[in-house]
Structure 1
């Protein structure tokens, strides 16, 4: 992969490009080769204060715009972004390590998120309920929170921005973006399009920081009225505690460990194909990825053989090249953690049926590489079965029936998503009513539609993103009891 010269990407506050008040920066590395290719500001308390204050001022004016006009600004942003598709796709590969094809898909999803939100401008609804008295009406009027904070994870640096910016802006909020420290460059480039689209200064601000200080200052500020986070459960718990004094609104989309249940009557070929796609997409770094296969004992040998066959054919390599199925993980620390979990599980009896470490070859000597891995003879008490992996490792557990699989799925403190392969409609309906997760994929691979709803149950979050319910989370309700004097005849 050709390594560009090191470039600096500033923050964007109140319509101006700024660096940290003290000049501090931090480095961004290419996950494919660990080489530094960019620097961004390591913002200070002074920078955060400026972002918050200008965001509040801008929001008070922004909420006075008719929703349809706010929507037009978002559509203008989409038009500005469209010709930059190649630029952003290559930037995503360089920054995040996903394949070029997946990067193009992320760019397209970003435009879909923004467009959907813009088109919702005429569908922001309140309610009128009957009053108990004559000459009176009861309205439920919906209003923006104010200053919204968008905390984005590293797995989709651009799409998560679109997922938060669109709903926040169309409902009359302003938003301060804080990208993950591993992938902050895309956010800076996104704000160039914000500037070009003419979105009023301060409506979208961007700060960056290498540690937790910047996020903590943003979350604890009394000016922040809504926090939207996509991240780990641990990060969500910290945000929950930090926002308590302000009693800020929360939209937390957190981690999980999706079980991939394959029952004895399933189409084994289709299930195996879906299991591989749903595990190794984006190098396993998707919160709703297949994290733990639970396969009926009767078909376990056949299913496992097909999974290993398909996973072994995945092409791992330079994600900037065509025909590559999987690139590197984003962070070295993440891979070190999951490899330790793998080794602990192997010591408990799990067997490495495929992969199990860094791929062979000079091109994989540097960077955050891990081969597509399949583990068999896994039991529910092993670390790979208990911990969210967020990596290209597929543990397989044999189960006796649907109810054992359901028990393993529900016997967790989180509940983000799950997969179910069966032809038994009774079991499908039972799962819909009893599986303690926010999303269930029935006889299909990983997917997410902009008109759906992406949310978690239990420790996987509160609130959610996408669709009409996602937009609803950026509005608060105001009850109005309106009494009036009726005219006399």
Structure 2
């Protein structure tokens, strides 16, 4: 399949190693956010397509799991190398379907390679435990096994990196995989999967279905052979998956929304904090779950910080993402409207506009989904712009008198993904992890996870987590064996059984 086609991509689904064409007329058009041209089509999949993909993955998984883990790791490492060889092609595809500047798209491809390589390194790290038994001539073995079929549901903001983040560890752990990328940005995941056979990954181990989440995604989640669902997306979608997975008792790993507080104290390095605030707010047009979503500035430095932050925001270059500006378009017209509605509600409730941005729709922006940065000074932490995830280039700011107030306001949310703290006070730094109720905290730096760390949310920001040894371990389940080699275990002897019998 030619993903570089300029005349339009006619994508198929990948099921059991075969490219499956769409049913007559059953296609979804995919637009370029920069100019609204149709760049291709994908099949509008059905529940039956989802079942075929799960069945293929179920058949392929035992043989894949039976391979030595190091062989699975070699295949995933080969997949990483094949992606790296085609960095520019994949980066341009990401930019065309998602809208991020080409330099940021190249960075996303680098993340794809990094996620796959790090997963491959875990092939020799699948470990268990031997625990001493209370019984003579017996050991307790705790082993790790793959779950079986893993379903991956990915968001549209990082379509390639999110797919690789899930595919790599799932496969190295011995699972098979079925991917459903978002229908707005489906081509990146298909591109990666197309390289699987060349990497030595057997047919059926990676499958990709396309279509709408409400139909295909629900069928994938509810299928009886689906053992684990890993999803990155909105809270609404995560809650629906939670409900759909309940009857089948599926294992869930959900990375959902965020509302990251960005706290700057009076002793912070202001220029460093401003630079980090700009990066963490406007990268990918603010479409990152760990973005700087609300700022709490100590009143003593607020004027200086805002003067520099407003100037830096005004200076951002917005334009054709292939020209590598600072900001490209939002992913869709609906996203632009959603962002502006949150701004309008905040202004109606008294927010002061420090930088007037909003939708751009004339001149070079006549076509596409363009929006300029907006900065608001807010007086009330209950303002909608301080509570709702904006996921766009809008920066709400509040002045705070002290660290305690900043922490209290930061924690006043159902979200718990990421947070930022800028201070040079050692006592404050030591208090931060105990008092900020977030799974990931950036101290004196901008956002950007690392492959060997652990990316997880608290509260409404999700369940489970990704990356590093803890993320990898989430793709393995534990099994306990009581290995007795000859000494008879009599009734009432040893461990909890004896305790229970004594009580009864």
> Structure 2 length as normaliser, TM-score?
0.94
Indicate which of 42, 48, 53 corresponds to 2:50: 48
| 1:467 aligned partner | 468
Indicate which of 134, 140, 143 corresponds to 1:141: 143
2:146–2:476 Cα contact (<8 Å) kept: yes
Task: Compute the displacement of 1:349 (Å).
Answer: 1.3
Task: Compute the displacement of 1:379 (Å).
Answer: 2.4
The alignment's C-alpha RMSD in Å is: 1.4
Distance in 2 between residues matched to 1:320 and 1:352, nearest whole Å: 31
2:440–2:457 Cα contact (<8 Å) kept: yes
Task: Compute the displacement of 1:181 (Å).
Answer: 1.0
Task: After superposition, give the CA deviation of every residue in 1:366-424 in whole Å (9 maximum; x if it has no partner).
Answer: 21110022112342121111100000111111111111111111111110010000111
Distance in 2 between residues matched to 1:448 and 1:441, nearest whole Å: 9
* SS in structure 1 of the partner of residue 105 of structure 2: helix
| 1:448 aligned partner | 449
Q: 1:443 to 1:157 in 2, by over 3 A?
A: same
Distance in 2 between residues matched to 1:58 and 1:3, nearest whole Å: 32
Higher alpha-carbon deviation: 188-197 or 236-245:
188-197
Higher alpha-carbon deviation: 12-21 or 431-440:
12-21
| 1:339 aligned partner | 340
| 2:394 aligned partner | 393
Distance in 2 between residues matched to 1:14 and 1:133, nearest whole Å: 48
Indicate which of 229, 236, 239 corresponds to 2:238: 236
1:6–1:37 Cα contact (<8 Å) kept: yes
Distance in 1 between residues matched to 2:237 and 2:135, nearest whole Å: 48
* SS in structure 2 of the partner of residue 63 of structure 1: helix
Runs of 4+ in 1 over 4 A off after TM superposition: none
| 2:494 aligned partner | none
Distance in 2 between residues matched to 1:378 and 1:175, nearest whole Å: 48
1:378–1:385 Cα contact (<8 Å) kept: no
| 1:248 aligned partner | 250
| 2:210 aligned partner | 208
Task: Compute the displacement of 1:475 (Å).
Answer: 0.6
Distance in 2 between residues matched to 1:110 and 1:45, nearest whole Å: 29
Distance in 1 between residues matched to 2:67 and 2:373, nearest whole Å: 50
Distance in 2 between residues matched to 1:121 and 1:368, nearest whole Å: 43
| 2:75 aligned partner | 73
> Structure 1 length as normaliser, TM-score?
0.97
Matched, 1:351 2:355: no
Distance in 1 between residues matched to 2:341 and 2:250, nearest whole Å: 37
Count of paired positions: 484
Distance in 2 between residues matched to 1:21 and 1:94, nearest whole Å: 25
Task: After superposition, give the CA deviation of every residue in 1:29-87 in whole Å (9 maximum; x if it has no partner).
Answer: 00011111110001112211110111100112111111001001111212222211110
Task: Compute the displacement of 1:360 (Å).
Answer: 6.7
| 1:420 aligned partner | 421
1:20–1:47 Cα contact (<8 Å) kept: no
Matched, 1:125 2:127: yes
1:14–1:51 Cα contact (<8 Å) kept: yes
